[in-house]
Amino acid sequence: RGRPAPDPLGARLRFLAEADRLKSVLRGTTIFDGTRRETSAEHSWHLALFALTLGEHAVDPPDPARAVRMLLLHDLVEIDAGDAPIHGNHDPAAQEEAELRAAERLYGLLPSPQDAALRAIWDEFEAARSVDAVFARSIDRVQPVLANLATGGGTWTEYSVTRAQLETRVGDKVRRGAPILWDALVPRLDAWFGPA
Amino acid sequence: RGRPAPDPLGARLRFLAEADRLKSVLRGTTIFDGTRRETSAEHSWHLALFALTLGEHAVDPPDPARAVRMLLLHDLVEIDAGDAPIHGNHDPAAQEEAELRAAERLYGLLPSPQDAALRAIWDEFEAARSVDAVFARSIDRVQPVLANLATGGGTWTEYSVTRAQLETRVGDKVRRGAPILWDALVPRLDAWFGPA
Ligand SMILES: [Ca+2]
């Protein structure tokens, strides 16, 4: 960052080739037919589609294009830092440090000022304060819930998740951006977990 | 379309669950490390990232957010119609008809007027006339070229593609939206195919 980029197109193509590696990061959650774990790249695509279609159910009206951009970029750091499953055990401080280093390296592949601009979108997502970030994060949390419901339990079974844990780790975050979305899932969650 | 949707959120969640099936559509091209074929879902994510970063190399300045939206949606029809590899043999009229039927069914899962709005984005991509569509289509054509270069030939070897065929089927389309992008690849194409 800050150093002159004599070949911005070449730098962007190297960034895009590096980004391809997100297709090899496997998540805890499976695709909706349960046949295999989904990759972080296809998860990111799916979330962008959620953001394109669910905006009117957000508590504050988001800018869908900004939410889409956040969701396309939000998991890139996993290329270096790996996926930290929400119901798994990991050291949050170590994970955060690894993600910060990954963001430096990956966004740093882009020419200036695009490196800073895209990095700022990721920082905004991580900060979880803006309307678009709060909406994007509720989307990011709700998609695995739908995958688990579609596959008869998925990571809930794998990690012995309780309804109370789901409410704290997932429900509270979904409700923050889109309470209507969480409310719509409660009957299906009651059917799977038993009433909260 | 046109009929009342008493539960728009439920309809959107059903659309998003159906869209998940794009993660099971395999393309001819592999991911950049050559280990497996890429899915149309992760291809769509990758293209959206191309559109986010390469806009300044387009011949006419695109609206990146619109190009991103087009690329997120452009392959959804493959859920029903399958992928038609660019260097493969398929009946273009039959493929087009299958894709039109797929678009009716898939966008038709969404409540009105979102069904028509998203369908219009796909129609615009297919028509290949607007600035954003021309740019998005050049992105869609160039990404497999980069995958083939990264893997030492890929589908060019598989389908015995000549340099002349590549120029007609791919180069002309990339040049239409982003001639600078194609020019930047010519030295690498010369090295692989021999000079045009
Ligand atoms: Ca995520």
CATH number of the domain bearing residue B28: 1.10.3210.10
**Residue A2 is assigned to a structural domain of this protein:** no
| Structure tokens that stand for B143 in this block | 């990404």
Q: What pLDDT was estimated at residue B143?
A: 98
Q: A108: which chain B residues are within 8 Å (Cβ-Cβ)? A: none
| Structure tokens that stand for B111 in this block | 């409540």
- Determine how many CB atoms are found less than 10 A away from the CB of residue B143: 22
Q: What pLDDT was estimated at residue B196?
A: 66
Euclidean distance between CA atoms A73 and B109, whole angstroms: 27
**Residue A57 is assigned to a structural domain of this protein:** yes
| Nearest residue in chain B measured CA to CA from A53 | B12
Q: A26 has which bridge partners?
A: A39
| Nearest residue in chain A measured CA to CA from B75 | A45
Q: Which of B16, B22, B114 sits opposite A50 (nearest CB)?
A: B16
CA distances from A36 to B75, B125, B143 (A): 21, 31, 25
Into how many domains does chain A fold? 1
> What is the domain extent for residue B19?
8-193
**A42 CA to middle of ligand 1, Å?**
10
**Residue A3 is assigned to a structural domain of this protein:** no
Q: What pLDDT was estimated at residue B152?
A: 95
Q: Are B54 and B178 in contact (CB under 8 A)?
A: yes
- CB contact set of B132 (below 8 Å; sequence gap of 6+): B62, B63, B66, B67, B70, B124
Q: What pLDDT was estimated at residue B169?
A: 95
**Residue B1 is assigned to a structural domain of this protein:** no
**A125 CA to middle of ligand 1, Å?**
11
Ranges in chain B, pLDDT < 50: none
**A48 CA to middle of ligand 1, Å?**
11
ipTM of the complex, rounded to two decimals: 0.95
Nearest to A15 by CA among A4, A26, A7: A7
Q: How far apart are the first and last CA of chain B?
A: 49
Q: What pLDDT was estimated at residue A158?
A: 92
**Residue B3 is assigned to a structural domain of this protein:** no
**B175 CA to middle of ligand 1, Å?**
35
**Residue B24 is assigned to a structural domain of this protein:** yes
Q: A33: which chain B residues are within 8 Å (Cβ-Cβ)? A: 20-21, 24
Q: What pLDDT was estimated at residue B2?
A: 57
* CB contact A13 to B (< 8 Å): yes
**A45 CA to middle of ligand 1, Å?**
11
Ranges in chain A, pLDDT < 70: 1-5, 196
Q: B24: which chain A residues are within 8 Å (Cβ-Cβ)? A: 31, 33, 35
- Burial of residue A163 (CB within 10 Å: 0-12, 13-18, 19+) is middle
Q: Where are the alpha helices (DSSP H) in chain A?
A: 8-19, 40-54, 64-73, 78-81, 92-107, 114-127, 131-150, 155-158, 163-166, 172-177, 179-193
Give the number of C-alpha atoms closer than 13 A to the C-alpha of residue A116, restricted to the C-beta side. Answer: 5
Asked whether the beta carbons of residue B146 and residue A13 sit closer than 8 angstroms, the reply is: yes
* CB contact B58 to A (< 8 Å): no
* CB contact B146 to A (< 8 Å): yes
